[in-house]
Chain A
């Protein structure tokens, strides 16, 4: 089992729809969880992070965390073509040691006109 698992996609959604990106992780003791966006040929950009169970909203983005199910998701409301990118889930795992982040392989999102 991979430590941080994401569906590689591509996930295609029409403009204006809600995009739902999912991530599962193996280390039950993980403390904090991050979503990064990476455009092709560019470096990752931090969108938001979450550390408590429940929802955290920031503009059009909502992160959801369920530690019991070891599951974290990112919802993007009113998806725009400019949201088309690869979304990386990252986890600060206790077994990783210190402050390393373990990244998933990313989900490619395509927002279609």
Chain B
């Protein structure tokens, strides 16, 4: 149980294009999903908290117009990196917290490695 998928696993794009990443909870409902970014040899950095049916809450310093988040259902959240630039190249990881969870545990997807040329 508690499986989270992400798609795509790897994407290479040209500077200026937009990239959409999907995060799905496969065997549970998730009222809340989270988006993280991790640069090489650094820790996880929370970008935003996504709640089903409402606007995402962004962490300080994260541009909400650049990183668009949509959480349309209890099993799907998407992150769109708009007008991507080389400095956006990173490992993007989503996590999902079961709606039925009591202790706010989070289960992570396998991550999406984004390379912007």
State the A residues within 8 Å of B (CB).
31-32, 34, 36, 42-46, 49, 51, 88, 90, 92, 98-101, 103-106
Contact = CB atoms under 8 A, between A and B. Distances in A.
Contact of A100 (B34, B42, B109): B34
Contacts of A100: 34, 46, 49
B89 interface: no
B105 A42 contact: no
26 contacts: A31-B103, A32-B103, A32-B104, A34-B106, A36-B108, A42-B111, A43-B110, A43-B111, A44-B108, A45-B108, A46-B105, A46-B108, A92-B103, A92-B104, A98-B32, A98-B49, A99-B32, A99-B97, A99-B104, A100-B46, A100-B49, A101-B104, A101-B106, A103-B44, A104-B43, A105-B43
B107 interface: yes
In which size bucket is the chain B interface?
10 to 19
A107 B28 CA distance: 30
A43 B109 contact: yes
Given A43-B109, A49-B103, A100-B34, A88 B49 contact: no
B49 to A, nearest CB: 6
Given A31-B103, A51-B103, A99-B32, A42 B46 contact: no
A31 B108 CA distance: 20
Contacts of B111: 42-43
B103 to A, nearest CB: 4
A88 B32 contact: no
A25 B97 CA distance: 22
Contact of B110 (A31, A34, A42, A51): A42
B110 A49 contact: no
A44 B46 contact: no
Contacts of B49: 98, 100
Contacts of A49: 103, 105
Nearest to A90: B106
Contacts of B79: none
Contacts of B32: 98-99
Contacts of A92: 103-104
